[in-house]
Amino acid sequence: MYVSDNLTIAEENSTIEAVNNDGSQLLCAAYDEYTTLRFGLIVGASVFAIIGATTNIILIRIFIVLSISSAQDQKWNPSRLYLIALAVCDAFLCISFILIFGLDAVAIYTRNYFSHWFYFQTIIVVFFGARLAQMLIPYFLIVATFERWVLAYNLQGYRFLKFYTKNRTKYWATLVVCGLAISLRLPMAFAFFIRHFDDCPDVFGRRQLWPTSVFFLPEYQILDFYVVSAVQVFVPFAALTSLNGMIVHKLTKKTTVLSTNTATNSHSPALVKSEEEARSQSTRSAPTIDYQIEIRLNSLPDQEAFSTQMNGFVLSRPRIQKRPLQKLFSGFRTKSLNIDLGEKRRSRRLSSATRVRRAKVREATNTMLAIVTVYLMCNTPHFILTLLEQFNSTVLRDENGASTQFYMAMSDLVSVLFMISSFVRIFVYLKCNQEVRFEFRRILGML
């Protein structure tokens, strides 16, 4: 949710003293009117926000169910903790868009006083929560993407990276990310209050979100305008772009090498030789024809001599009584054959389990790549707008210091794109994750 809380020096004095340009006392709070086009866009985006909040709540349930079902020696498996935290932030961000933008648009455009009253009863808490979720989402994406990067490059052998990929580390990483975001965003909760203008004849101009004295402290300006902008926008953008690029490069390289080896080695002499050795080994391990005939002959009734016909050949030989030593080696040969077959079945099961595990890792990596890519695409306008604010670009404000139409349009676009990135998350999971797709269909079947 993008709401600009940066004011110019010219606005500070008029804001904190609540006076007009001519020096008279400010009677009513200013508020933006909504054109029909802007109202339609905000309402349409609010509908998507309602769907996004609902689907992310469903995602929270799905991830909790999958975490419980995949647990073995504990109550639940924390391997999906980052995804649960991400879904919680996405759901709250969609709800925040409805309460900040949708509710205000309905109140002002339709002149609905109850919506206006409810908006100002919740705006400070919702505004703080929205800015907190904005900071949490990229860092949950960073810790999850970094884990995928470690697995993609097989770096689990290093001591720290091996510790990082363990499930219990996810609890600590989640606490660190939440603590960092709260510590940086907590001062904002004391920087605004609701100012009342009881003598205003317009009921919609009697309340406004107003900055406190904390807002104008130099320390707060440095923290909010430089530190938070760098931590929330620039650092995540650079980190996610780098990690995403390296993972894509690694997966592309693996796919290219695999396809090349399959094409070049399908008729190579080494492969043919190995196949011939495998066939000869299987032939040696199988019972021979002579051995089968011997077993068949020895199973006939006792007699001095006999003759039997097999495939047109007459086999005649005296009855041979098995000695104890011969029986011992015959039984050993049968047992060794059974052991070989058992080992082959066991190795086949192990290779099948390995393929399933690798497929799940690849599926999780592709899911995270898609999520990060969507986030970067939607966050690019925010990145550009923050750069313009940092350099105090003239396209954002006119000669009087008021916001330009471009600034207002970019702010609305950034807010909508933040919500859209949370809204489309469910479609990424349904496309890339088979377990989520199956569980989502099961939940729809219960409705």
pLDDT at residue 165, rounded to an integer: 79
Domain ranges of the chain: 9-259+356-380+404-446
pLDDT band at 296 (very low <50, low <70, confident <90, very high): very low
CA distance 245 to 238: 11
Residue with the larger pLDDT of the pair 330 and 178:
178
What average pLDDT does the segment 126-142 reach?
92
- CATH class assigned to 9-259+356-380+404-446: mainly alpha
Is the alpha carbon torsion for 202, 207, 209, 215 positive or negative? positive
Place of tokens 């989520």: 436
Average pLDDT of the segment spanning 283-310: 44
Q: What is the dihedral of CA 120, 125, 128, 133, to 10 degrees?
A: -120
Q: What is the pLDDT of residue 97?
A: 93
| 169 CB neighbour count, 10 Å cutoff | 16
How far apart CA 328 and CA 321 sit, in angstroms, is 14
Split at pLDDT 50, 70, 90, the class of 6 is very low
70: its two tokens? 């995949």
pLDDT at 21 > cutoff 90: no
What are the tens digits of pLDDT across the range 75-131? Answer: 788 888 999 999 999 999 999 999 999 999 999 999 999 999 999 999 999 999 999
440 token code pair: 């989502």
pLDDT at 407: 86
Q: What is the pLDDT of residues 426-435, one digit of tens each?
A: 898 888 888 8
First to last CA, the chain: 32
Q: What is the pLDDT of residues 150-166, one digit of tens each?
A: 888 888 777 778 888 78
Burial of 446 from C-beta contacts in 10 A (0-12 / 13-18 / 19+): exposed
Instruction: State residue 384's pLDDT score.
Output: 87
